[in-house]
């Protein structure tokens, strides 16, 4: 994606192979005016190719080398990050198959210069990434939502997810219109868009609607044959900073249906990298991400074709999406009490056998998840229900461990919701810190920053959620503050 163009007659250029990945080693090579055959994803080193004066890249990286005639989809070509922006350099970019890559390497091993003819007809223009959204009207302006990605090249990733979303809302709409299901209390919304960048725009421009959205399911979802190993459905939880009734609920939905279909399934901890970030506290839409493996790894590859899709798997995820959406769209106080009970059980099961600190942590997360059901009842009923729920927990909540602040009582105040991909900061200015769009410790710690906790408390909570963290969080947040991504207060 986003390859630069050549003159109409094309260009002739020497091709050289690059095996180094370190900046110093790459910059030692004479790459000026040449096409570079890469073994790694060239998007990860594009800024170095620009620095070295390369004409462009010929990608030989693949997630599955056994797909000898499959081309990896390289969906990033910005100088600093995922998207191509006005400041990005229009290098040429091609993606070839493992079979073609081996032919090129054989020619290069023979020792003579290898030249290729390249012809590319592309243009850059200011445009928009479209998203499509619609609702089944409910009795109030609150909403539940199903979201997926409409701008990917694969049948599994993510035509299956969008197809399942469309079928789930179409089915619910038919049942509601026919009177077989009552009109729900809340709207049921479908949103298809570009992954993360699309949903971030939606959140930023529809804040009032986001605040009225009580839950979501993200279908970034292959639908592979049952018979292949590794294709079980997995349900990813919310980050612990956004602990919610949704986590326990989706596991109940899966438990009620998938065994009847003869399908195994898994519960998985929060993992960044898709739109499940909506569950973080600054957005506040508790979200579960449903995902299945593909058996044969075809992720972002031209071999991700419709013949690899299993209608049974599409049926399964459609039914789960439909059940999730309608139950929560129609949930009132009785359902909220049940959701509180299963949330208490969910976190109670995670408290046993740990240290005092872990037990207190699980109790604190339990309390937050239980009280999250208050969003499902009218405002005038919340105080009464809150008192009842806390009474059933046995106290007004766990006693927090006393944490001495770090040396200067540093408190991190976030300025932006979601992840921090650093797309506006050149890689050589990132001081070795990770891209905040994908790095689990960096993202998890960021989500614990609520503008009140000291960094000592944030570090403690991050390690209680993830285990030991190697990232120097003091230095990382000071780095973010220097570049204006966060603010530091005493």
Output the domain CATH number for residue 253.
Answer: 3.40.630.10
265 in a structural domain: yes
DSSP secondary structure code for residue 112 in this structure: S
106: alpha, beta or left? (left if phi > 0; alpha if psi -120 to 50): alpha
**136/154 same-domain check:** yes
Among 312, 331, 350, the domain boundary falls at 331
Side-chain-facing half-sphere of 251: CA atoms under 13 Å: 17
Is residue 449 located within the same domain as residue 378?
A: no
Tell me what pLDDT residue 398 has: 46
Backbone angles phi, psi at 115, to 5 degrees: -115, 145
pLDDT of residue 395: 55
Given a contact cutoff of 8 angstroms between Cβ atoms, the answer to whether 257 and 184 are in contact is no
Q: Are residues 256 and 348 in the same domain?
A: no
Statement to judge: residues 19 and 99 lie in one domain: yes
Residue 354 is predicted with a pLDDT of 72
Residues 355 and 237 in one domain: no
Does one domain contain both 139 and 267? Answer: yes
Q: Is residue 402 part of a domain?
A: no
Calculate the CA 244 to chain-centre distance: 18
Per-residue model confidence (pLDDT) at position 82: 86
Low pLDDT (below 70) residues in the chain: 352-353, 395-408
User: 341 and 317: one domain?
Assistant: no
- Is residue 195 domain-shared with residue 316, that is, in the same domain? yes
Contacts of 235 (CB under 8 A, 6+ apart): 250, 251, 254, 265, 266, 267, 268, 288, 289, 290, 291
Q: Is residue 136 part of a domain?
A: yes
Does residue 343 sit in the same domain as residue 209? no
Here the CATH number for the domain that contains residue 106 is 3.50.30.30
- Do residues 231 and 92 share a domain? no
- Interatomic CA distance for residues 13 and 394, integer angstroms: 74
Give the total number of structural domains in the chain. 4
Q: Identify whether 234 is part of a domain.
A: yes
Which residues are CB-neighbours of 60 under 8 A, at least 6 positions away?
37, 38, 39, 96, 98, 101, 104
Task: Show the domain range for 255.
Answer: 132-331
Whether residue 401 lies inside any domain: the answer is no
In the listed set 85, 118, 151, which residue is the last one of a domain according to the structure?
118
- Rounded Cα gap, residues 320 and 195, in angstroms: 21
Q: What is the pTM of this model?
A: 0.94
Instruction: Verify that 136 and 284 share a domain, yes or no.
Output: yes
Residue 125, domain member (yes or no): no
Q: What are phi and psi of 219, to 5 degrees?
A: -110, 85
Q: Do residues 373 and 343 touch, judged by C-beta distance below 8 A?
A: yes
Query: Last residue of a domain, which of 87, 118, 149?
Result: 118
What is the predicted pLDDT for the residue at 396? 42
Residues 246 and 145 grouped into a single domain: yes
Q: Is residue 399 part of a domain?
A: no
Residue 184 counted as domain residue: yes
């Amino acid at each position: 994606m986003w390859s630069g163009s050549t003159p109409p007659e094309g260009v002739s250029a020497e091709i050289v192979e690059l095996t180094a990945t370190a900046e110093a080693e790459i910059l030692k090579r004479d790459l000026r005016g040449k096409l570079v055959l890469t073994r790694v994803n060239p998007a990860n080193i594009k800024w170095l190719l620009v620095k070295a004066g390369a004409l462009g890249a010929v990608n030989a990286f693949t997630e599955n080398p056994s797909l000898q005639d499959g081309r990896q989809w390289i969906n990033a070509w910005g100088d600093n990050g995922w998207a191509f922006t006005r400041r990005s350099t229009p290098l040429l970019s091609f993606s070839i198959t493992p079979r073609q890559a081996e032919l090129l390497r054989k020619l290069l091993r023979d020792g003579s210069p290898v030249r290729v003819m390249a012809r590319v007809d592309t243009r850059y223009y200011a445009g928009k990434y479209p998203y499509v959204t619609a609702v089944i009207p409910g009795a109030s302006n609150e909403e539940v939502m199903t979201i997926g990605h409409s701008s990917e090249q694969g049948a599994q990733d993510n035509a299956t997810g969008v197809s399942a979303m469309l079928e789930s809302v179409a089915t619910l709409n038919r049942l509601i219109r026919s009177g077989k299901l009552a009109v729900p209390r809340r709207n049921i919304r479908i949103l298809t868009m570009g992954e993360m960048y699309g949903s971030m725009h939606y959140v930023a421009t529809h804040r009032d609607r986001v605040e009225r959205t009580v839950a979501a399911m993200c279908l970034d979802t292959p639908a592979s044959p049952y018979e292949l190993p590794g294709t079980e459905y997995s349900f990813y939880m919310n980050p612990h900073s956004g602990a919610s009734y949704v986590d326990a609920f989706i596991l109940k939905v899966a438990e009620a249906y998938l065994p009847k279909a003869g399908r195994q399934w898994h519960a998985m901890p929060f993992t960044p990298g898709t739109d499940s970030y909506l569950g973080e506290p600054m957005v506040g839409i508790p979200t579960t991400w449903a995902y299945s493996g593909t058996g044969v790894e075809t992720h972002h590859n031209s071999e991700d074709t419709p013949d690899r899709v299993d209608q049974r798997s599409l049926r399964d995820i459609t039914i789960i999406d439909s059940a999730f959406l309608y139950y929560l769209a129609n949930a009132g106080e009785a359902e909220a009490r049940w959701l509180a009970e299963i949330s208490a059980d969910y976190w109670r099961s995670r408290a046993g056998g740990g240290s005092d600190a872990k037990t207190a942590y699980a109790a604190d997360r339990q309390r937050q998840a239980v009280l999250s059901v208050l969003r499902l009842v009218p405002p005038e009923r919340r105080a009464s229900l809150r008192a009842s729920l806390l009474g059933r927990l046995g106290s007004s909540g766990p006693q927090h461990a006393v944490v001495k602040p770090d040396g200067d009582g540093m408190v991190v105040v976030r300025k932006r919701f979601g992840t921090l991909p650093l797309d506006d900061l050149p890689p050589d200015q990132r001081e070795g810190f990770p891209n905040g769009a994908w790095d689990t410790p960096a993202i998890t710690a960021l989500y614990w920053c609520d503008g009140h906790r000291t960094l000592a408390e944030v570090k403690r909570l991050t390690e209680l959620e993830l285990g030991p963290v190697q990232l120097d969080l003091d230095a990382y947040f000071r780095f973010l503050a220097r570049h204006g991504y966060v603010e530091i207060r005493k």
